[in-house]
């Protein structure tokens, strides 16, 4: 009882203090899989992690990211680290590390295969499924203009009427998809679809040919 009494007396009047900063989940490690989406997800998760814990130093970003490399990716980093130590290689910024990882682990012909598949991507079922399939392919194509995105999307859609009808029934698309689809159906001259980590600015000013 005496110990309990002392604890009560010594407790601040404001009660127990708790940290206001939420716990930030750590990103998953990357093992060197030659899978474009797995690598892109790892890089994106690392960037979100840096932002959440407020890491600004480029050298620190490189060092922290290296900790999450395992398997073949860790073996690759060991080799690079030796090259860095002897001065034959420089990886001192996050952008350089991203570029080196992509050069080593990105599957060959990823963009070519995605463009080829885009020609065969057709709207034959639900609007939601077509949008998801189209979006998944666009993740592997980084150099396509908004005009070309619009062209391929509409070519695959086949009938704008079916898309417009689906939108009028308020199909459960995510907000960005709805904005992009609606702009495309209305031939909005400002539309540009950015997928994946670029999706935060779904509509940008990029003239669409009439």
Closest by CA position to 97, among listed 84, 116, 112, 108: 84
On average, the pLDDT of the chain sits at 72
| pLDDT exceeds cutoff 70 at 154 | yes
The predicted structure's pLDDT at residue 169: 44
DSSP per residue, 27-79: PPPB-----HHHHHHHHHHHHHHHHHTT---HHHHHHHHHHTB-HHHHHHHHH
Angle between helices 175-185 and 160-168 (to 10 degrees): 130
| pLDDT exceeds cutoff 50 at 189 | no
| pLDDT exceeds cutoff 50 at 125 | yes
Angle between helices 175-185 and 146-157 (to 10 degrees): 80
The predicted structure's pLDDT at residue 20: 60
Using pLDDT thresholds of 50, 70 and 90, give the confidence band for residue 180. Answer: low
| 48-86 per-position pLDDT tens digit | 999 999 999 999 999 999 999 999 999 999 999 999 998
pTM above 0.85, yes or no: no
Average pLDDT for 100-122: 84
Residue 107's CB is within 10 A of a number of other CB atoms, namely 14
Give the burial string for 143-167 (b: 16+ CB within 10 Å, else e): ebebeebbebbbebbeeeeebeebb
Q: What is the dihedral of CA 62, 64, 66, 68, to 10 degrees?
A: -140
């Amino acid at each position: 009882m005496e110990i309990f009494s002392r604890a009560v007396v010594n407790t601040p009047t404001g009660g127990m203090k708790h940290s206001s900063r939420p716990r930030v989940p750590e990103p998953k490690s990357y093992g060197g899989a030659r899978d474009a989406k797995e690598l892109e997800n790892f890089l994106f998760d690392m960037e979100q992690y840096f932002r959440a814990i407020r890491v600004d130093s480029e050298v620190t970003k490189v060092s922290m990211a290296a900790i999450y490399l395992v398997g073949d990716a860790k073996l690759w980093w060991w080799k690079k680290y030796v090259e860095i130590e002897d001065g034959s290689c420089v990886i001192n910024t996050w952008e350089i590390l991203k570029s080196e990882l992509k050069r080593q682990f990105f599957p060959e012909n990823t963009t070519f295969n995605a463009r080829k598949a885009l020609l065969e991507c057709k709207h034959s079922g639900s609007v939601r499924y077509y949008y998801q399939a189209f979006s998944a392919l666009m993740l592997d194509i980084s150099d396509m203009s908004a005009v070309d995105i619009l062209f391929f999307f509409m070519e695959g859609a086949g009938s704008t009427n079916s898309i417009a009808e689906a939108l009028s029934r308020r199909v459960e698309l995510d907000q960005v998809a709805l904005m992009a689809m609606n702009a495309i159906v209305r031939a909005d001259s400002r539309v540009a679809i950015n997928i994946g980590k670029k999706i935060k600015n779904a509509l940008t000013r990029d003239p669409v040919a009439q």
